[in-house]
Amino acid sequence: MMEDKFVEQQGTYMLSHSVGLPLKTAKSATDIGFWHPWSKGGENVWDHWLAGIERFRAILAKLLNSDSSQFCPQSNISSAVNKIIFSLERSEHKKVILMSAAYVSAAPRRSSTRRLLRTSLSLHDLT
């Protein structure tokens, strides 16, 4: 059964911001792919991690029928939103709308983003 693949949880899991309960295999995969190489140290640990990111991008490309160069994984939503905003062409006529209620983790970026964009974009905050 599908529920046998996930860690056990008391009650109903209803965190809408989450990707869900982790797989039971996630801990061993993390140990092998992240902790073990890190704990061994050495100068090649970054090569190991970067190869993992490249594998992830290749899987995304296959899944979404694209090229892996089109994907740039980010560590969190705030980082992703920041990269998207600053990749926009600067123009007096474009508007960027930030809704902190939609992405609570992006809220701390709101004021710094507003200051940085004030000169090039008309920024509207709906909160």
Say yes or no: 43 and 96 in one domain: no
Lowest-confidence pick of 17-21, 85-89, 123-127: 123-127
Side-chain-facing half-sphere of 42: CA atoms under 13 Å = 12
Residue 56 and residue 104 share a domain: no
64 shares its domain with 40? yes
Same domain, 66 and 118: no
Spell out the SS3 assignment of 45-72: HHHHHHHHHHHHHHHHHHHCCCCHHHCC
Both 49 and 96 in one domain: the answer is no
Tell me the two tokens of residue 43: 């100068």
Residues 47 and 6 in one domain: yes
- Residue 123 banded pLDDT, cuts 50, 70, 90: very low
| 84, 61: one domain | no
Torsion of CA 71, 82, 35, 41, to 10 degrees: 90
Q: Is the entire prediction scored with pTM above 0.85?
A: no
- Whether residue 48 is found in the same domain as residue 10: yes
Do residues 84 and 41 share a domain?
A: no
- Whole-angstrom distance, CA of residue 52 vs CA of residue 8: 28
Rounded to a whole number of angstroms, the CA Rg of the chain reads 19
Examine the domain organization and report whether 46 and 89 are in the same domain: no
Name the residue among 3, 43, 39, 41 with its Cα closest to residue 23: 3
The token pair that represents 39 in the structure block: 């704990």
Counting the structural domains of the chain, the total is 2
88 pLDDT above the threshold of 60: yes
Q: Are residues 100 and 46 in the same domain?
A: no
Residue where one domain finishes, among candidates 28, 50, 70? 70
Higher pLDDT, 51 or 88: 51
Q: Could you tell me if 44 and 60 lie in one domain?
A: yes
The whole domain housing 112 covers: 77-125
**31-72 pLDDT tens trace:** 888 888 888 877 788 888 899 899 999 999 999 999 999 998
